[in-house]
Structure 1
């Protein structure tokens, strides 16, 4: 009993120390004018502590709680006018989703050619979909789950570290599609918001949909907001706290053993991620020449990052949050629902067959 109590106390102290480190890093990043300070500051700090062998411990369930707060905040960006505008932008959103498939195939070919990864491992490690969804699809087709999970985690972190700084340097903050004005919060309004978010969350959990902690609140709050319900704005500390928890969770993945597990595979994966960033940026800039949408918003919509991280970036930098959310949701649905079918087409590519034949001869 005493041993268990001491272990619980030790765990609680490590969690408190990690939260304190993350909070201090977020405050310093905010004071320094960093983009996404309450996400990037904790991410850097917790990752550095983890790589140094300090073994930081994040709050159990903290990532889910952070996703809930971010999902609620993102849902508030919708309104009847915004939904009507998004309907007019269906073609660019669909084109961005198809672009993500092409980018994923290019990255998969790099992994397949320059590493010993199987086609399933290479394909689902490179596909810029939801990390958990890609891991499940890879597992069903005999892929190396650990490698896919590592590559997907690396993708999300690299993109969230590169894109905000790049946008801040080249474009600065925007004023496109600001969130609708919200009334002052009252207990009844906050209760309605929480009930909507938790109701949609429970439904998605029951349907076994991944990312329910983000997509549930986003769907529940977004639906009410799109119907014109007078939902209140969330307190800034809640949104910043959600980013802190999410950044800490991302940073905790990078311990000393992360890069030692499969260094060549992760090295090529990093190269594929860099190429994906360049290709997505080129595609977004090309699309911006043909549609009446701001290039920075399209860059965020096309970026091969996670839906939470890119949507938060759009919210903080004031670049077409609903468009970015819609584009990443379309990509997520396409790659999750059609991932198996796209994988079969990938296997039929002549270059994939040629690599398989060469491996069999060797």
Structure 2
């Protein structure tokens, strides 16, 4: 009788709150990843844990507003790496940052040609290969007659491949990425409260204006502006960054289930090959730019990876690389893609039509 009541109670709770199992599964994955010394354990572990649970045939959904809160916290912490001296250095190397970003973006043509070679239409191949946010590329694909399911699947796969491969590869090649040697800045709760409050206001306003990654970009903008203006040298309290990673990782894991991997397997294989090719191509580009500018090649390469702002910046933080440089390159790449992807596509499309 007790077992029956418990079973019915569980069914009722899961029915009313289909996300209820996501937090503990993500937390278990994060804990195990930390125990196994994975890089970015609370993000990658939570992602893998939730994705495996869903691939086993169980149903669970993303934590409501979880990714927004996670991005809000993480972006605030990333912005605190900026100060007046760092900003002077970033501006001094802006030409290198812009060149590296543009060259890295140009490697996306590899994915476009791979997909086109195997018969994919131009719009789908193009927007699936652009290293922008999944939602934004799906929206642009919708305006240009692309296959939206393939764009969403391709963008999600690219993001997760970069997240799973890059931190682990950097840890193996360049050293410890578990934070044991990190510089711990003092915590100032008054400043943090102000930053989080203003970041939430700007993030909400950006969301109202339909700005992509509104909460991440809003919090990042506020944190950088205030930190540079007042030359702050503070950090997040212990555990805050991990909490944000857990929320984001648990949400990312909900993108994947059996149906995801069964959907167009040949397309997914091509997407994987294209993503790996772009990552490999970033190595000689970073070497060349590092030789030209005397900037750290590892930092430049991380800034050119087709991943997310938060994930690549957190990897730089764990390895004590120049987080603001990585963040600047990632943000610049995102802005270029958002504002230039559609105009370039339409020019390309008109050019192809005129040649027929």
TM-score, L = length of structure 2: 0.89
Distance 1:201 1:8, change over 3 A: farther
1:260 CA drift (Å)? 1.8
Which of 312, 315, 328 is the equivalent residue of 2:314?
312
Conserved in 2, the CA contact under 8 Å of 1:79 and 1:180? Answer: no
Residue 79 (structure 1) aligns with: 83
Distance 2:198 2:183 in 1: 18
Residue 147 (structure 2) aligns with: 144
Residue 203 (structure 1) aligns with: 205
2:285 match: secondary structure: helix
After superposition, what is the alpha-carbon deviation per residue over 1:307-349, rounded to whole angstroms, capped at 9, x for unaligned? 1211121122221110011001111111111112221354367
Residue 132 (structure 2) aligns with: 129
Residue 25 (structure 1) aligns with: 29
Unaligned runs of 5+ in 2: 1-8
1:131 CA drift (Å)? 2.1
1:197 CA drift (Å)? 0.9
With 16-25 and 70-79 compared, the bigger mean Cα shift is at: 16-25
Conserved in 2, the CA contact under 8 Å of 1:35 and 1:164? Answer: yes
Unaligned runs of 5+ in 1: 358-362
Which of 269, 279, 283 is the equivalent residue of 1:267?
269
Residue 167 (structure 2) aligns with: 164
Which of 64, 68, 82 is the equivalent residue of 2:68?
64
Conserved in 1, the CA contact under 8 Å of 2:185 and 2:233? Answer: yes
1:56 CA drift (Å)? 2.9
Equivalent runs, 1:96-245 vs 2, <5 Å: 96-115=100-119, 117-173=120-176, 182-186=185-189, 188-228=190-230, 230=232, 232-245=234-247
Conserved in 2, the CA contact under 8 Å of 1:297 and 1:323? Answer: yes
Residue 291 (structure 1) aligns with: 293
1:53 CA drift (Å)? 0.8
2:288 match: secondary structure: helix
Residue 38 (structure 2) aligns with: 34
RMSD over aligned Cα atoms = 2.5
Conserved in 1, the CA contact under 8 Å of 2:84 and 2:231? Answer: no
Conserved in 2, the CA contact under 8 Å of 1:77 and 1:179? Answer: no
Conserved in 1, the CA contact under 8 Å of 2:28 and 2:49? Answer: no
TM-score, L = length of structure 1: 0.88
Distance 1:39 1:129 in 2: 20
After superposition, what is the alpha-carbon deviation per residue over 1:225-269, rounded to whole angstroms, capped at 9, x for unaligned? 011254752222221011011111111111110122222211211
Distance 1:325 1:192 in 2: 22
1:155 CA drift (Å)? 0.3
Distance 2:202 2:83 in 1: 18
Distance 1:308 1:281 in 2: 21
Distance 1:183 1:312 in 2: 18
